[in-house]
Amino acid sequence: MSNKTSLDVPLYTGGALQISVTGVNRCKDRESSAKVMSATIKKIGGYVDAQVKFVKFHNGTDVRLLVLPEYIFSGFPLSEGHEEWMNKGCIHYDGPEYEALGAIAQRNNIYLAGNVYEIDPNFPEIYFQTCFIIGPSGDIIHRYRRLTSALDSTPHDVLDKYLDIYGLDGVFPVARTELGNLACVASEEIMWPELVRIHAMRGAEVLLHPTSEPGSLRTTDREACRRARAFENAIYIISANTASIDNIPIPAYTCSMMSKVVDYRSKILAEAAPGGESALAHSVIDIRGLRSQRRRLGMANLLSRQPTDLYAMAYAEANIHPANSLLQDGQVKPPADRVAFYRERQERILERMTNAGII
């Protein structure tokens, strides 16, 4: 598809499914965690089938895009070591879980996005937290690996090898579809302006945001950032939060509500209520309006007014968080102690920032 975009994109409904996640932390092995994942897939299938039919009946528009919450199959690792979580909390690049989700997308003619812990055959020693988009064909059309994590491996940790295999387009991928240009970030990554901006500069128009974030009736840090990112980049954001995270030693509804659709003017178009699973965070997506806004002259067109060359120069000088911390002589070396490794690395980063006079 050409990089040059037209204004001719039909209206469609896009939204988030705010559903509960069952943690696999208490599972003893892969067999037991696979049963949890299978039950989650079955639930997703029923919800998607109903959502597509209900919205079409209710307002006459086709649901073409749905987003699932963060780490939808497993919850997140707690005390588990690296190997233990790879065994019970991760799925494989070509695993049956993707095939099952692909069948759901195919029978409903939708794009289905979400977030999982995944093992890439090019990096079998580690796992990535992966945002995916499955197309109406049932095939995966987009993989974005989370780039900022306090306690898990990312492409930045093995950057030289990752770039050799996937290139920069694989680090910041944008899927060009008949619904507009789609991209993803995960969870708290919404709080990094650079991560959203670079996707927007590569053409993204709808940002899919699987998340599991604290819910509150007050404005949270991520909520403030979500609306700022939408406005400053003239981009739609669809955030899908967990309704609850069950079967873990943390109150289940700590991360709940906050699923919503925010438009390119920072207006909340739809929002799920607290207190449980919900399909109400959906709205009509107007890509024609977004593209028209992005092409207007004037002060409000922030995306066109960025001196990105200066930013690049200043960032290159900073270099406080070097790449390849899990790559030694071209070989991937997973951390012996997951928590200790990432904590000690952050301590070194803070020391560099102190010495540089940043903090």
**Contact between residue 185 and residue 196 where contact means Cβ atoms under 8 Å apart:** yes
CA dist 92 and 109 (Å) reads 24
Report the alpha-carbon angle 236-310-345, nearest 5: 80
Residue 2: per-residue pLDDT: 44
DSSP states of 27-51 = --SHHHHHHHHHHHHHHHHHHHHHH
Answer whether 178's CB lies under 8 Å from 62's CB. no
Tens-digit pLDDT string for the chain (359 aa): 445 566 788 999 999 999 999 999 999 999 999 999 999 999 999 999 999 999 988 888 999 999 999 999 999 999 999 999 999 999 999 999 999 999 999 999 999 999 999 999 999 999 999 999 999 999 999 999 999 999 999 999 999 999 999 999 999 999 999 999 999 999 999 999 999 999 999 999 999 999 999 999 999 999 999 999 999 999 999 999 999 999 999 999 999 999 999 999 999 999 998 889 999 999 999 999 999 999 999 999 999 999 999 999 999 998 899 999 999 999 999 998 999 999 999 999 999 999 999 99
DSSP H stretches of helix in 126-219: 159-171, 193-201
Query: In 3D, which of 261, 326, 199 has the Cα closest to residue 67?
Result: 261
Pairing of strands 245-246, 180-184: unpaired
Q: With CA atoms as reference, report the closest residue to 207 among 168, 234, 188, 178.
A: 234
Q: What is the pTM of this model?
A: 0.95
Q: Which of 33, 27, 94, 105 is nearest to 65 (CA)?
A: 105
